[in-house]
Amino acid sequence: MAAHESGFSIPFHQLSHASGFLALKLNRLAAHQSEHLLTLLKNQWHPEHPDLQQLAIVTADQFSSLPVEQKAMSLVVSSSADTTESQTHSIRVMAKGIDRILQSYEEHPEAELAKIFSADFKKLAELLQSHGLFGYRAGGDFIFENNDFASPLIAASREDFVVRGTQKYALLETATLEQRILTENKIDNKIHEDLLKWHDEYRSASLNPNPSAHYEVPNPTRSAFLDNLTLSLRKFFRGDERKILHWGLDLSGGKTVQIELRNPNGDLVTSDAELKQGINELYQRVNKMGVSEVTIRQVGHTIVLDFPGSQSLSAAELIKASTMYFHVVNEKFSPHNPESGEIVNRFLQEVWNEAVVTDKKDLSQLQAIAVKHLDTETGKALVAQGLKLQDPNDHAMSSKLEDDDLCKIAVFRDSKRQGQAHPLLIVFRNYALEGSQLANIRAAYDPAKGNFLSFDITHSESIFQWTSRYCKEQITGTKEEKYSAGSGWRMAVILNDTVINAPTLNEPLHNSAMISGSFSQREVTQLAADLKAGSLTFTPHILSEKNINPELGKTDRAKGITATGVALLLVIGSMVGYYRFGGVVASIAVLFNILILWATLQNLGATLSLAGIA
């Protein structure tokens, strides 16, 4: 324990049995980012409209002291740190009174002041969107909000922080010294992998025939060889998890997880054939995740997994299903539709506004809000044009093209909104392809396309039917062409309930496909790894998770080690006593044999159980 002026500090990483939580106060982070945002608005947003030039840019505390006339028109930068009554954890920029002016100018868009106001407001929206704040209308005001401002910092730390409950703290669980060493090794491995990818990208850019591409990737600032050498030394003195001989579940304790499987329609899987398929997929996923000595067995209609607690992997991570579906976007009800795009955009914005205000952003909750909004003025206009949304309580879907009149809501990832103020998209309910049909998944880089993911398709009949129906070649000259302004309809790639990309269909897809877009090297590599680890046909649900106390096998482990040592001494003593010098040589050979066997087991990452010892 070290003394400081403000108190005392304890180096947790040096304690062998530390347990508890480290709390990162997100309110302080929110306050700091709010100050930065306030400075940014004052220095980088210079409106030309006379009303916007008089706009006061203030904090929540400063707003309370403004005159009444300035309160009606102002930009208020606030965060959850400004009040203890806040139910949401976010950073906000509230444009007071601007939405009323915006609506009045929308009625006369050709007026000169309307054009100036629209241009200034667009610059404001783009500036705030570049910092993660997206806007929605609320009672005459326009609110820009970022509900996930802590994610970049948490991702940069590479620690397993979690944000729950009131979302005022990011919590990091502290465990044993061994687990901390494993975590630090994992973080160092990721940093080194990023450096290697940086070198690869730099070499690819340097060899690009386009001279301008040579300057797209900066020269790496560290040598990959020296970094690898220092990494090996750090892990050697710290403790390398690859050099640990793991104890089995019966000797070291661990977890027993009982799960059930549900199909894409949400129904419980009870068929023996489907359960065996699920077990095989889980087994393949576990093997590719590097978890050893895991036992998977069927018990009735459930599956039980036993894995040692020393594996540094939680049960949720173990069975987490990376589900991927490909849904065709219904461009008739897309914000990009030249004819009805404005109404569609207004409808989706209203749905998103309610989701933000009520904090109901799960996919099922968004679907329920969208169905409810079909009774509004904009919703009725879309229903009159033929929009049919799936009932939120009905989870049925298939790959059939014939039953394609029903639609559902899909959600873009925040960084993939394709220029929309809201992240919503309307796609057909039925899918064209699911992740379990992908094979030979590989990440690659092309100077023209950037980072992309390519894969082969098994059982490709459904994807061919869908893509040949809505690709550019097929819709040219038909009524569907006008909905997408002459381009093919888009294919939404939905990974774990979020749209990661929506490429345009130029031609039918059959045996292979490629997903390209604004992927970083880390994103495309992680995506490929998730899908290679197993795109599960069925979704697993945890029924129970039992922790087995390591004390149960501690006695057996101690007795086994003692018995091995005594037996070794007796063997060496008997050989030396009988063979003299020859016994000494033989004893040294036995010791070397044990060391080689031990080293082999360590490097293989083997798990030593009672059965293995026997």
Residue 371 pLDDT:
93
Instruction: Say which range, 81-85, 186-190, 305-309, 587-591, has the weakest mean pLDDT.
Output: 81-85
Q: Is the pLDDT of residue 144 over 90?
A: no
Residue 13 pLDDT:
53
Percent of the chain with pLDDT over 90: 12
3-state helix, strand, coil in the chain (%, to 5): 45, 20, 30
Q: Is the pLDDT of residue 17 over 60?
A: no
**What CATH number labels 324-535?**
3.30.1360.200
Higher pLDDT pick, 327 / 357: 327
Residue 613 pLDDT:
63
- Where do the structural domains in the chain lie, given as residue ranges? 27-146, 183-240, 247-321, 324-535, 552-613
- Of all helices (H) and strands (E), which one includes residue 480? helix 480-483
Higher pLDDT pick, 606 / 148: 148
Residue 317 pLDDT:
61
Q: What is the pLDDT of residues 55-73, one digit of tens each?
A: 889 888 888 888 888 888 8
Instruction: Say which range, 138-152, 221-235, 527-541, has the weakest mean pLDDT.
Output: 527-541
3-state secondary structure of 547: strand
Query: Token digits for 522?
Result: 């880390």
Q: How far apart (Å, rounded) are the C-alpha atoms in residues 525 and 492?
A: 20
Length of the chain in terms of residues written: 614
Residue 2 pLDDT:
62
Q: How far apart (Å, rounded) are the C-alpha atoms in residues 557 and 246?
A: 12
Q: What is the pLDDT of residues 566-579, one digit of tens each?
A: 999 999 999 999 99
Mean per-residue pLDDT over the chain, rounded? 80
Q: What is the pLDDT of residues 84-132, one digit of tens each?
A: 545 457 888 988 888 778 777 777 778 888 889 888 888 998 888 888 8
CATH top class, domain 247-321: alpha beta
Residue 18 pLDDT:
56
Across the range 347-369, mean pLDDT stands at: 87
pLDDT bucket at 532, cuts 50 / 70 / 90: low
Q: Is the pLDDT of residue 10 over 80?
A: no
Give the bridge partners for 428, in sequence order.
Answer: 407
- Determine contact, residues 488/406, Cβ cutoff 8 Å: no
pLDDT bucket at 250, cuts 50 / 70 / 90: low
556 residue type, one letter: D
Residue 118 pLDDT:
85
384 residue type, one letter: A
Residue 542 pLDDT:
81
B/e letters for 374-408, b = 16+ CB within 10 Å, e = fewer, are: beeebbeebeeeebebbebeebebebebeebebbb
Q: Is the pLDDT of residue 310 over 50?
A: no
Across the range 199-217, mean pLDDT stands at: 79
Across the range 1-17, mean pLDDT stands at: 59
Q: Mean pLDDT: which of 190-199, 331-340, 382-391 is highest?
A: 382-391
Higher pLDDT pick, 10 / 401: 401
